[in-house]
Structure formats: C-alpha cells, structure tokens
Structure 1
Amino acid sequence: MPAESRAHQRRRRRTHLLLAGAAGLATAGALAAALPATATAEESSAKHGSGYFNRYQDVQLLSFNDLHGNLEPPAGSSGRVTELQPDGTTKTIDAGGVEYLATHLRQAREGNKYSITAAGGDMVGASPLISGLFHDEPTIEALNKLDLDVTSVGNHEFDEGAKELARLQNGGCHPTAGCYVKDEEFEGADFPYLAANVLDEKTGKPILKPYWVWKKKDVKVGFIGVTLEDTPGVVSADGVKGLKFKDEVETINKYAKVLQRQGVKSIVALIHEGGLPASGSYNYNCDSPGAGDGVSGPIVDIAKNITPQVDALVTGHTHAAYVCTIPDPAGKPRMVTSAASFGRLYTDTTLTYDRFTGDIARTSVKSANHVVTRTVAKAPDMTELIGKWNTLAAPIGNRAIGYISADISNTGTESPIGDLIADAQLAHGKELDPETDLALMNPGGVRAPLTYAAKGSEGDGVVTYAEGFTVQPFSNTVNLQDFTGAQLIQVLKEQVSGTNAASPKILQPSSGLTYTLDLTKSGADRVVTDSIKLNGGAIDPTATYRVATNSFLAGGGDGFPTLGQGTNDLVGSDDLTALEKYLTANSSATNPIAPPAANRITVVSQ
C-alpha cells in the first residue's frame, strides 16, 4: 500500500478514537496486588446479550518521554542506561534509536488486543541535526510509524512557538523553509498533542486539545495532557509569546471532572514534569523502604494533590527513570512513571479495567521500565526513514568543523563540554568587543557530549557539523551585556537560590572565572562570595564587566532574572557558529583539542 494511503488509513482509524483529546502514560516499576481470587462467576462475569463477558480487561499502556528527536542511537553516555544487578552491582547497557524502539514496541504489543501507546512530552526540540535541521518533521513521521496514540506537550514543543507546534500537529510545509521533499507536503501528526494547561491569552482557551479518550469496544480510557507551569522559565520569550501556562494540578483536576461527566472514569494524566530518583539505575525499587521515598522533586507534590479520579501518572522533563507509587489525596497508592529520555527506555504498564465500574482496579496496576536494547533487529521502515533524511542532511552534516583528542563529556556539576562552549562564546565575544571579560553557559543548553570514536567514515577525533548541532541545537545568538560586579555575584548565587534552590542550575564558566561551591551550606550561601575570582583577582562589586551569554540566558531564562537586567546589549552570531569557529581556530587533525579539565568550580561536599 502506498505511504500516502497508509497515512490516510491511520488518520481514519484515529478519527474514530478521538472523542475529545488526551495524552498517554509511561510507567516503570511494579505495584502488584492480586484481584480478588474468590470472586464468584456472577461477580466476575455479567450477562451481555446472549453471552457472557469478563468483568476485568487488562489494558496495556506503553509509554516513553523526552525523545528530543533522537532518531539515531544517542552517542556516549546519552545512549546508555544503568542496570542494577541482583548482587547489588550495576552495569551499563547501550540503548536507544528509533529503529530499535520500533521493534521493541511492536514486540511488546504482540498478543495484547487492548494496547495504547502514549508519551509524556518533549518529543521534539533540542534535536540532533537529522531532525532539527528539518524542524522536526522527521521525528513526527517516525512517531506516526511507531503508532503513537497520544502525547502531552512539553516545554520543548514551544521552542519555535505555538504556530510551529500547530503545524507539527496539523501538517503543511514550513513557512520559510518550504517543503523538504519535492512534491511531498508534510502531513503532520496522526496522534493528538494535548495541552490542557496552555491557554491562548486572548481567548483563554487551550491552544490544543486538553484531553482525549481511547476507546475499544466497551473499554474507555481518558488522557489529560499538561506541561510544567514554569515552561516560560525554560523557553525563550518568543516561544511562549501570547500564551498562559496554568497550574498542573488545578488543570488536571478540572478536566478529570469533565471526563467523569462524560462517563469516562479510567483516567491517565500525561505530565511533562518529573522527579529525581534516589538511584540512577532504571530498575531500582522506587518503593523501598516506603511509598514515594525513592523519588523527590516537583512531581511528588503534584501527585499528592491530583484528584483520586486519576488512576496513573506518566511523567517526564527530568530525563529520569522511575516507577513509583505515591499516595493520592485519599491516601491510596497511585503509579507514577518516567522512562528516562532519548528513547532509551519504554514503560509497559498493565491497567486492569473494571467493566462494572468503568474504572481502573488500581490495586492491580503493574508497571516496569524496559531497555530499548540494540541487540534486536532494526525496524526496516525506520531504517528507510533515517536514510531518507540523512541523505538530505549529508551535504551539511558531514562537514568537519574540528578535531578532539578524546571524548568531551557532558557529565558533572561542571562538564568539560560546558566549559568548551563557554570558552567558544568568550572567544566570539572578544571578536565582537575586545573588552569582553567572561562567558556563562546554561547546562540545559548543552544537549550532548562530543565523542572521539568514529561514526560512519568520518575518522576518529573528527567533529562534524552534525555532531556540533547535536550539542547545540537551539540556534541561540551569543549576546554581550554589561553587569556590575554585584550583579555578577548575584547571578552566581541565583544558580542555587530562588527558583533554582531545589534543583540548582550550575552555569558553565569560561576560562578565568573560578569560585567555590559549598554544598554543606544552603541556598545562596552555597556560592562562597570571597572565592569568586576572575583571572586571579577578586570581583569588584562596583566595577563593570562585559559578559557573553546565549540569548536565552540574556532574557533571564532558567531562573536567572539578573541576567535579564544587563545593559549595552550587542548581538553576535548563533552559538553553533561560535563553537565551530572556536574548534576550527584551535584544533587540527595533527593538533586536536583536548577536553577541558573542568576545574573552574571547586565543589565542597559533605
């Protein structure tokens, strides 16, 4: 059957399923309590027409989150998961890649007539070049082929604004780039994006469907999709212009009542907000020693306040792996899951649907995270899709922009790749204005490491444009601003205070800026003021310093309001151009650049 007719067939099939709007669940771990074993025939079956039907129906919920356009297997640590072994040791497993994800999901669905596939947001945005270069159309095509049923929006769905998100949902060629394949218009997503708590400021209504109902025969499961309320704090101002983001709990509780009034009593919330697990292993027991003890962070309070009418929560955003039970407001355990990121895991959850009540028998919910191993056969349709887009990207992506002597990792409070980018932005700043003193880079803007090992035929140590794009995909500009020394000190303290108090965001410093981060203290005091030095000298609170940042930080993003107060603005090239110029100027095949030592921040821990 031609691809076009297959797509229309999928659309017709999903149209029959769309009753309102919703998004799916991803879960991991295990909550097991058997259904009553002593039920009588009358209790477990009911007369229906001329025959009988089972009271309980298992519904499979497959879910994942934070794919970020990673169609090809992610490189380095971004492409591995940690697995806890029976003897208490751990091992790492290579994971991810949609060719393998498709195979795993298709195998998981075998024998499950009632199966839903849902996602928890950030399917696109901050994507590698194979997707990001084409405004993430390749990822939407891949998700269609994966038979994704529903997803919530995430903050990265707003990187290019609400109009571009609407295009990804509804189709049509890009307004400036046009159509990428001759005589082939982008058809958009076959699945609904849910955005219950994202309102148009003018109309006060959700910009996309707030919920969606999956239905098969007499089984109905509703999905409500939200992103984190603080999306404006982690997305550029242009991306959220004209939008209002409402409280997650308030919104979910509101639409749970709407679904209940429509007779939909089995409800899953897709929430692009998450938690921080107690273990880095995807398969640890989150509920030991007690319910909720294995995870912390924003999702805990959210879960504790969402109405008991919601039966399970699929979460994301923190790129963590967990399957936990957290008590609902009635004190009843409820499953909360997250499947890490980049397609390395998927969650398989069994929701037992009670036909008598129309609700989920929550004591029977079972869930576990599974690794998307690379030992299974690749899905041929995904291989074909990747090949098509790689062919289009090759003339740009294969160009060498630098050389490295070893992996430049993206791990640690201060990462080598973060320092490299800060140095590149300082160098670019000095080209624009020789008086530039330092550069600061937000850790969330660094999306991947640079790996030394050869990929394809590029040769060991070669950094291609595609790899650079994967590290910095946002197309932020490098901006120069003036700050007083007092403001600069305040910026460093905002890393661990204010909105960043609970989850610090440690800025990556350029060469010459050093200070001590004392984790035995609390709040802003964790940044030791007397230790802050620039090129060996103390910061003068009354002096003026010229600081390079990306445009996102220059607007006060990521919880750094003081960075939005700079003066004497000067806008330079985009951040990837700055990185490319730095690598080209400071490395060659015979003299590759070495990983920075990542010793600019001295960390004192307990």
Structure 2
Amino acid sequence: MKKNLVLIGAALTLSSCSLMGPATTDVTVIGLNDFHGNLEPTTFAGVMIPDPKDPTKQVRLTTGGIEVIGGYLTQERAKNPNLSFVGAGDLIGASPVTSSLLRDEPSIIALSKLGMKTSSLGNHEFDQGLKELLRMQNGGCDSNDMSKACKFQNPYPGASFKYLAANVVDKTTGQPVFPPYLIERVGGAKIAYVGAVTKTTPTIVSPDGVATLNFLDEAVSINKYVPELKAQGVDAIIVLIHEGGFSKDGFDKPACGNLTGPIADIVNKLDPAVNAVISGHTHQGYNCMVGSKVVIQGDFYGHLLQRLDMTIDRRNHKVLNIRAANVVMDTRSTPKNPDMTAIVTKAKALTDAVKQTPIGTIASSAILRTQNAAGESPLGDVIADSQLAATADKGAVIAFMNPGGIRADLTASAAGNTVTFGDAYAVQPFGNTLVVMDLTGAQIKTLLEEQFDNPSASQSRMLQVSKGFSYSYDSTAAAGSRVDAASIKLNGVAIDPAKTYRVVVNSFLATGGDNFVVLKSGTNVLQLPNVVDVEAFSAYLKANAGLAGGSADRYTKTK
C-alpha cells in the first residue's frame, strides 16, 4: 500500500512538471499585399536574370501569378500544416483586364480557394464605394456595375476570408464597419490578427464612396483592442496593415534597421504585445525591425510573399522567436496549383477577346509614365491630351490628370508597336468618367498650389496637363506661393484670375480626390457618364497612328 502511494506521488509530481513545462507550436504565417488582381505573372524589378535571347543582357525575372502562389502554399502546407495565409490589403482594385472586367471576382474566389483566412482592407478595396465592397465580402449580384458582376460565377459567392479594419468606423454610430480583429487557432495556438488601413484613404479614393466613414489613427485603433485580445488568452498578435514605408536595403536583407515613412511612426506607437507587422501600400520589398517588432512588406502583384516562421509557447501565451523572410514567387521553379490554373484559364477565356482588340499604334514599344524632375511624364501628357480631345466639343480648353491614376507604362503588346485595349486598360483600369466644369483663373492657381499639400510624401501629385497649358513653380517657396502666377498660361496667353475657363478632369478628381478640393467648387458642371477615361484614351490612340509620348515640358521646376 505504501509503495502504491509513492508511485501515485511520483505520477503527480511528473504531471505537475509537465504542466509547468513549455508547450510549443511552430506556426508559419504567409502574407500577401497589394495583389491588385494580378492573376497572371508579371516582371519583378528586384531580380535580374540573363536574357534567354541574349545572355550578355539582363532582364527582369517573371514572378507571381495566382498559380505559383497557390503552388507555393500547397508545397509549404505539406511541410507544416500549421500555416496561415493572410493579406495586407489592395488585393483587388486597379487590376488587369483578366480580373477587373469581371469585377475582380476571380481574384477573390481564387484567394478564398487558397484558404486565405483574413486580410486588412486596403484603400483600393474602397474604389467602388462601401456598398460594392460589402458585396465583395458577402457575395451576391447587386453590383453598381451589372455589366461585370456575376459573369465569372453566378451568383458570386463572396469572400470566404474576412476583411478587417479596426480604424474604419461609421460616422453616425462610431462603430467599426468591418471586424477589427480575428482570432485563428493554428495547431492549438491562438493567433490574433488586427487589421487597419491607411488613414489617408479618403484623400486617395473617390470621396463620395466613403462619405459615411471615418478613418481613424491606425496605432490608436489597433492598441484599443489589445487588452481585449490579451483577455482572451491569445498567444500572438500580428498586425495586418495597409500602410507602409521605405528601406535602403533590399527585400532580401533581414532585420534592416533603417525603415522610414508612415509605418515606422505607427509601429513605434504600437502596444508592446504586438509581435509582428505585415504591411503594404507603398509597393516596397523590405524585412525590417522597428524596436523589437518585425515589420515586413512583399513588393506588389504577388512578386513576393511575406513569411513569418514563429515558435509559440502556448502555455505562457508568448512568441519565443520569429524568423522573417520575403519569398520570391519564381515561375521557373515554383509548382503551379491546378485549381488556380483553371481559374486563370476561365477568366482569360471570358476577357481575352476584349483584351486583345487592337486600337492603334505608337511610335516605339512603350510610352513611359516615368516623371521628370518637375513631375511630368510623356504618358501623362498623352492622357491629358486624350481627355481634352474627348471633351473639346463640350468647350474644354484644359485637362488635368492625376498621376496616381496612371497605373502602368503604355506598352505595345502586339506586332508593329500595336496597342491593344488590354494595354490601354492596364494604364487606366479604374473606369473613371470625365467631368467638365468651369474654373476661374484664381481657382486654377489654387488647384496648382494644392499639388504640394500632399499628406503622402511618398507619392507625387503633380497633375499632368494638356498641350498649350504651361506654368513654372518653385518647390522651396512658401506654401500657397510656389506657383508663379504670371507664368500660368494657356496657348501663350497669361491666365486671367477673374476669367472663367472650361476644364476637364476625371470623376475621381472632380469629387476632391487626392485632396484637390477646389475642384468641388467648379461651376456649370457637366457629368459625362458615357465617356470613360480609358475609352477616351483608346479613341485618341486610334485617331493618332504612330503616336509618340509627350515632350514633358509643359511646366517647369525652377528650384
């Protein structure tokens, strides 16, 4: 009897020791940011390889695409089933024809089939307004563009993953419109994801589409939910945020310590309980440390996937270590996922006829959107001219185009420098319509000054202007006095502050997008719902065979 008691005591002692010991789980988190509906691979500037046609030259590596992303996830899940796939916003919006002509439904369906668990919202998720965003989340066919909705799958099923936004609240109730966080059990570990989107969203999407929403401070909003998460016994807290920064180091250098920009400021304010930050928005590849926190971003278009390998102590609710890396989605070596191949094949079958329609020729293989020192680009000139040409019969004499709406170089994909509709659509994928209005000369001066009132120093907001309009500016002058009023001219004649001029802008700018608020004060406004920007661009290309880029000398920077 005494012997049995000793054995029981030993068993209890061993049991107590096991309760005190660690219970660890190895978890892999894979992040995708700024996918923008790029179902097919694109070239990645981060890796150069020998040109297959001429080994003495270097070309960009082709990476990304939903097929190799899917293949990589399948491969890594086989190695560690404790894998979580998440996003950091801009999964859709500003997308190529293959996705956007189908209202980005193929992209959402593909990411859902790949087991994405959750994603922060990005500013481009709001491109078509809140109602359409809710449809993308929840499904159905009640779209604001019935010509595109439910053409890929009817009815559209919605996203199986949850969009998160701790800092987006209803103006009336003050309550979050989307869940602020999601807790996922991975291999027994409780991983909390908190989502946020850049607070500058109202200035970079059409204001009308987010008029009922407030976008709050990111760090304050995230920190608000940390006590709640800790009370639920989570083992790790990862922030998914659509805001980013810049690093001097490459995407593949670990633990960089030189991250700058909005994300660095946000991370420095985050609660110490936050373990890592998966970021987006600035289309950069970096893998950095801000204080004790990993902060990572994976370029854009699925060129890179962000990877966090964590060892988690479930008993003490803490992360023992994190290894972070950006993984190149190399189409040469990464297997393809057959289910994703089926989605791409179907989407291409539904869109290729439109995408491959020839619309004109250009003088060389491409017209570039690269800006000169003043902020003007050859392609920006052409687009502004196309909008003026489309509305000259409505009295327009000046066109202004926002550079953020120019999403790619105009590249001739067909023989003989022939441009297809798909090429043009890649440049202007938003479907903005044109708006003609009257502005006084004084308001035009204000519009030009608003170019320098930029909440995002990472993005140029120098408006592209039509032929015949010119001015000069001094970037070092005081705010409100940077543009030389005497230099503002139309066809060589000085603009009269008191005179009225008929101007054309796209519908994004017309509602005060990019903080060009003076445009909301235009008069005699003529909305042209049937004149879409890309169609005006296409018509201009068709009417001007062998078109060359503009000379990019319409305005000058003196200092």
Among candidates 303, 319, 332, match of residue 283 of structure 2:
319
How far the C-alpha of 1:452 sits from its partner, in A, is 2.2
Residue aligning to 1:223: 193
Q: Does 1:479 align with 2:440?
A: no
1:81 partnered with 2:45 = yes
Partner AA of 2:271 in structure 1:
T
Corresponding residue number in structure 2 for 1:137: 105
Q: Could you tell me which residue of structure 2 aligns to residue 391 of structure 1? A: 349
Say what the alpha-carbon RMSD is for the aligned residues: 2.7
Residue of structure 1 in register with 2:168 after alignment: 198
For residues 161-172 of structure 1, the aligned pairs below 5 Å read: 161-172=129-140
Q: 1:270–1:314: 8 Å Cα contact kept in structure 2?
A: yes
Quick one: which amino acid aligns to residue 560 of structure 1? F
Counterpart in the other structure of 1:370? 327
Return the alpha-carbon distance in structure 1 between the equivalents of residues 376 and 62 of structure 2. Answer: 24
Question: Match of 1:180, as an amino acid?
Answer: K
Q: Hey, what's the Cα distance between the residues in 1 that align with 2:459 and 2:99? A: 29
Counterpart CA distance in 2 for 1:496 and 1:310 is: 35
Provide the TM-score with structure 1 as the length reference.
0.81
Distance 1:492 1:106 in 2: 51
Q: Match for residue 270 of structure 2?
A: 306
Give the match for residue 437 of structure 1: 397
Could you tell me how far apart the structure 1 residues matched to 2:405 and 2:151 are? 27
Residue identity in the other structure for 1:462: T
Gaps of 5+ in 1: 1-45, 328-332
Distance, in Å, in 2 between the alignment partners of 1:502 and 1:135 is 29
In the other structure, the counterpart of 2:52 is: none
Cα distance in 2, alignment partners of residues 128 and 494 from structure 1: 30
Q: Distance in 2 between matches of 1:419 and 1:245?
A: 34
User: Quick check: 2:152–2:347 contact (8 Å CA) kept in 1?
Assistant: no
**Letter in structure 2 aligned against 1:283:** D
Partner of 1:418: 380
Deviation per CA, 1:112-145: give whole Å up to 9, x if none. Answer: 2321111100111111121111211111111123
Question: Secondary structure of 1:483's partner?
Answer: strand
CA shift in 2, pair 1:284/1:525, >3 Å: farther
Q: CA deviation at 1:557?
A: 0.9
* CA gap 1:580/1:452 in 2 versus in 1, 3 angstroms: closer
Q: 2:150 aligns with which of 179, 192, 195?
A: 179
- Post-superposition CA distance 1:491-512 (Å, at most 9, x none): 1221122535674412112222
CA offset digits 1:204-248 (Å, max 9, x no partner): 322222211111343111001111122111111332132222221
CA apart distance, 1:439: 0.8
Identity among equivalent positions (%) equals 41
Give per-residue Cα distances to partners, 1:570-593, cap 9 Å, x unaligned: 122111221121111112xxxx21
Matched, 1:448 2:412: no
Return the offset for 1:526: 5.2
The CA deviation at 1:108 is 3.9
Task: Work out the CA distance in 1 between the residues paired with 2:476 and 2:132.
Answer: 45
Does residue 427 of structure 1 match 2:389?
yes
Q: Tell me which moved more, 365-374 or 126-135.
A: 365-374
- SS of 2:366's equivalent in the other structure is coil
Higher radius of gyration, 1 or 2:
2
- Secondary structure of 2:274's counterpart equals coil
Shift of 1:95: 2.4
Supply the distance in 1 between the matched residues of 2:246 and 2:464 (Cα, whole angstroms). 22
Deviations 1:408-449 (A, max 9, x none): 22322323222221111111121222xx22111111111122
302 and 309 in structure 1: CA distance in 2 versus 1, 3 angstrom threshold = same
| Residues 1:586 and 2:551 aligned together | no
Alpha-carbon distance in structure 1 between the residues aligned to 2:328 and 2:447: 39
Cα gap change, 1:396/1:502 in structure 2, threshold over 3 Å: closer, same or farther?
closer
Residue type of the alignment partner of 1:414: E
| Alignment-derived partner of residue 553 in structure 2 | 599
Deviation at 1:344, TM superposition (A): 1.3
Does 48-57 or 258-267 show the bigger shift? 48-57
Match 1:542 to one of 477, 498, 503 = 498
Matches within 5 A, 1:399-418: 399-405=357-363, 406-412=365-371, 413-418=375-380
> Aligned ranges for residues 155-304 of structure 1 at < 5 Å?
155-175=123-143, 176-177=146-147, 179-180=150-151, 184-278=154-248, 281-284=250-253, 287=256, 291=257, 294-304=258-268
Structure 2: gaps of 5 or more residues: 1-13, 50-57
Q: Distance in 2 between matches of 1:419 and 1:285?
A: 40
Shift of 1:174: 4.1
Task: Tell me how far 1:482 sits from its aligned partner.
Answer: 1.6
Structure 1 residues 501 and 269: alpha-carbon distance in aligned structure 2, compared to 1, 3 A threshold: closer
> 1: distance between equivalents of 2:389 and 2:316?
65
For residues 86-97 of structure 1, what are the structure 2 equivalents within 5 Å? 92-97=60-65
Q: Which amino acid letter does the alignment assign opposite residue 80 of structure 1?
A: F
Is contact 1:403–1:593 with CA below 8 Å preserved after alignment?
Answer: yes
Distance 1:402 1:132, change over 3 A: same
Please tell me the residue identity of whatever aligns with 1:467: D
Aligned to 1:125: 93
Letter in 1 for 2:322: V
Identify the match of residue 423 of structure 2 among 454, 467, 477.
467
Per the alignment, do residues 393 and 560 of structure 1 end up closer, same or farther by CA in structure 2, a change over 3 Å counting? same
User: Normalised by the size of structure 2, how large is the TM-score?
Assistant: 0.87
- Asked whether the 8 Å contact 1:439–1:549 carries over to 2, the reply is yes
> Amino acid of the residue matched to residue 88 of structure 2?
G
Tell me which amino acid in the other structure corresponds to 1:366. Answer: R
1:35-46 matches, within 5 Å, as none
Structure 1 residues 227-236 or 395-404, which shifts more?
Answer: 395-404
Aligned residues: 528
8 Å CA contact retained: 1:437, 1:546? yes
